[in-house]
């Protein structure tokens, strides 16, 4: 029969699993609100991109110091959580350090590695807290990060600090109990980091040490499980989504804007480059809407991009429109897209109106002033450490504004008309296009 601690552990584990399942299901449904798009071409290139950008963090190393510290946290997150497997087995079976007798001397080596990484995480998190709250890096202290985004960023750093302190406290008290000969506790030899902390707890009685060690054990495992659930509500969801996000990234050359198939077909028909389909050929799909007004007009990849956003602000810091004082912030575009998608999905889940709630992404969340400020330079796409594409969303909203609402600025409309009639942005006959070159040739002679 299971003991009370084992029953409690199973309840905690089951509760965390249930909450994770519900949240992951919600996120999947929310992302799939977008239109279908195929991103399975060139699989070898996609795997390479994912390994270099998501796993190898290639694009982070444009700024060496924060990149190295971020790499320490990321690598430690992967390695230290291998110890969670032992926690889970111990919690279910009622054992203590079940791998220690099996791995013998290597177990001590592994725990030392975990502790060194834990110290690396502590140092890195303190550095990032100071960077966010004391030195106030501009891209990390802008107005769009006020409220929950700022709290979320700080909260996750404090959680990581507490979890690492719990590991070191657990190991230090564990080894004191082992050297005192308390049953179940196994001497591991020399633990470098926690061993240097043992003097803090040497004066405590065995009962006090047992209480502190068990508290640290439970705090760490519950913290890890709670962290896993919390991450799905946080900007740190990128820990998991960065992998599919980079795999499904757009592999086309930057600057290539996708045409609408329906419009392309009509233009080709007008130019005589394509004939009407025969009766046995499938008819061209009708365009439901030109461009995007709401999140359901975007693709599911666009919405996944929004949920993958790290809110680091590198895109906004590199945006020439933002640098010159325009209202546009690519980071805000992604945050707004995510917030709107969540709002619609929550309403639909509650049986309320989803997209018919009187709101839309364009207008209620993102203004025309913002999207019109974009120069389409792709600086935001290049700057993103996990290949998020804010420009794709901006272009779709501009396409909607131009084609559905005729709401583009007057200067743009004049340019559109010139392109349509004169095949150039300037208002002169196509036959006169190269007259300027003739004048240059005359001057050269």
Average pLDDT estimate for 7-23: 94
Instruction: Return the higher-pLDDT residue of 107 and 437.
Output: 107
DSSP letters, 215-261, are: HHHHHHHHHHHHHHHHHTTSGGGHHHHHHHHHHTS--SPTTPPPPPH
pLDDT digits (tens, 9 = 90+) for 24-46: 999 999 999 999 988 999 999 99
Q: CA 366, CA 193: separation in Å to the nearest integer?
A: 50
Mean pLDDT score across all residues of the chain: 88
Give 277's DSSP letter. Answer: P
Query: 261-272+288-408, what's its fold?
Result: Fumarate Reductase Iron-sulfur Protein; Chain B, domain 2 (1.10.1060)
Q: List, for residues 346-404, the tens digit of each pLDDT value.
A: 998 887 777 888 889 998 999 999 999 999 999 999 999 999 999 999 999 999 998 88
Q: What's the CA gap between 333 and 305, in Å, rounded? A: 11
Between the alpha carbon of residue 79 and those of residues 117, 167, 185, 242, 313, the distances in Å are: 8, 13, 24, 18, 28
Question: Tens of pLDDT along 53-83?
Answer: 998 888 888 888 888 888 888 888 888 878 8
Identify the three-state secondary structure at position 366. Answer: strand
| 163 touches 224 (CB < 8 A) | yes
Q: What is the mean pLDDT of residues 217-244?
A: 92
For residues 392 and 302, the answer to whether their CB atoms sit within 8 Å is: yes
How far does the chain reach from its first CA to its final CA, in angstroms?
A: 102
Torsion of CA 368, 359, 297, 269, to 10 degrees: -70
Token pair recorded at residue 368: 């025309």
Sketch the domain layout of the chain as residue ranges. 4-31+63-247, 261-272+288-408, 416-445
Distance CA 287, CA 284 (A): 9
- Using CA atoms, how far apart are residues 154 and 131, in angstroms rounded to an integer? 11
pLDDT in tens, 235-250: 889 989 999 999 999 9
Q: Quick one: tokens of 299?
A: 């693709």
Residue among 83, 96, 88 nearest 9 (CA): 88
**Each residue of 408-426: pLDDT tens digit?**
888 888 888 888 787 788 8
Q: Give the number of other Cβ atoms within 10 Å of residue 50's Cβ.
A: 21
- Answer yes or no: is pLDDT of 253 > 50: yes
- Mean pLDDT on 207-233: 93
Q: What is the pLDDT of residue 261?
A: 78
> What pLDDT, on the 0 to 100 scale, is given for residue 260?
80
> Using 50, 70 and 90 to split pLDDT, how confident is the model at 1?
very low
Question: Percentage of residues in the chain with pLDDT exceeding 70?
Answer: 95
* Nearest CA among 369, 374, 300, 384 for reference residue 337: 300
Weakest-pLDDT range from 90-99, 256-265, 275-284? 275-284
**Rounded mean pLDDT of 266-273?**
76
Residue 263 pLDDT grade (very low, low, confident, very high; cuts 50, 70, 90)? confident
Mean pLDDT along residues 163-186:
92
Reported pTM: 0.85
pLDDT score at 137 = 84
Contact call for residues 391 and 256 (beta carbons, < 8 A): no
At 174-184, the pLDDT tens digits run 999 999 999 88
State yes or no: pLDDT of 284 exceeds 50: no
| Alpha helices (H) in 190-205, listed in sequence order | 192-195
Helix (H, G, I), strand (E, B) or coil at 272: coil
Placement of tokens 């007004």 in the chain: 293
In sign, the C-alpha dihedral spanning 390, 392, 398, 401 is: negative
DSSP annotation of 35 reads B
Judge whether residue 278 has pLDDT over 60: no
Is the distance from CB of 313 to CB of 140 less than 8 angstroms? yes
């Amino acid at each position: 029969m299971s003991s009370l601690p084992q029953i409690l552990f199973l309840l905690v584990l089951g509760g965390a699993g249930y909450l994770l399942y519900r949240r992951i299901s919600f996120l999947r449904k929310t992302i799939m609100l977008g239109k279908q798009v195929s991103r399975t071409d060139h699989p070898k290139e996609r795997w390479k991109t994912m390994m270099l950008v998501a796993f190898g963090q290639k694009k982070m190393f444009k700024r060496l110091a924060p990149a190295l510290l971020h790499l320490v946290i990321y690598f430690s997150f992967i390695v230290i959580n291998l110890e969670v497997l032992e926690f889970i087995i111990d919690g279910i079976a009622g054992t203590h350090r079940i791998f220690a007798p099996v791995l013998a001397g290597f177990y001590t080596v592994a725990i030392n590695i975990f502790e060194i990484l834990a110290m690396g995480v502590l140092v890195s998190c303190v550095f990032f807290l100071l960077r966010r709250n004391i030195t106030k890096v501009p891209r990390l202290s802008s107005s769009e990060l006020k409220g929950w985004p700022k709290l979320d960023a700080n909260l996750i750093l404090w959680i990581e600090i507490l979890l690492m302190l719990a590991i070191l406290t657990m190991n230090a008290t564990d080894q004191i109990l082992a050297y005192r000969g308390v049953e179940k506790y196994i001497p591991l030899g020399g633990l470098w980091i926690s061993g240097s902390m043992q003097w803090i707890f040497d004066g405590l009685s065995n009962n006090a040490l047992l209480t502190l060690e068990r508290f640290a054990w439970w705090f760490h495992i519950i913290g890890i499980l709670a962290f896993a659930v919390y991450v799905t509500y946080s900007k740190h969801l990128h820990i998991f989504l960065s992998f599919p996000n980079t795999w499904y990234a757009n592999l086309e050359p930057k600057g290539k804007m996708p045409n609408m198939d329906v419009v392309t077909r009509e233009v080709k028909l007008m130019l005589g480059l394509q004939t009407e389909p025969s009766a046995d050929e499938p008819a061209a799909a009708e365009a439901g809407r030109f461009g995007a007004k709401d999140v359901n007009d975007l693709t599911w990849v666009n919405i996944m991009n929004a949920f993958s956003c790290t809110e680091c602000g590198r895109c906004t810091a590199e945006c020439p429109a933002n640098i010159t004082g325009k209202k546009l912030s690519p980071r805000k575009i992604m945050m707004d897209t995510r917030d709107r998608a969540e709002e619609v999905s929550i309403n639909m889940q509650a049986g309320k109106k989803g997209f018919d709630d009187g709101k839309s992404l364009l207008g209620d969340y993102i203004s025309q002033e913002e999207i019109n400020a974009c120069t389409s330079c792709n600086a935001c796409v290049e700057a993103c450490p996990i290949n998020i594409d804010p420009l794709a969303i901006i272009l779709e909203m501009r396409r909607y504004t131009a084609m559905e609402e005729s709401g583009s600025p007057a200067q743009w409309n004049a340019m559109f008309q010139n392109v349509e009639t004169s095949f150039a942005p300037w208002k002169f006959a196509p036959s006169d296009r190269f007259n300027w070159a003739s004048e240059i040739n005359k001057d050269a002679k």
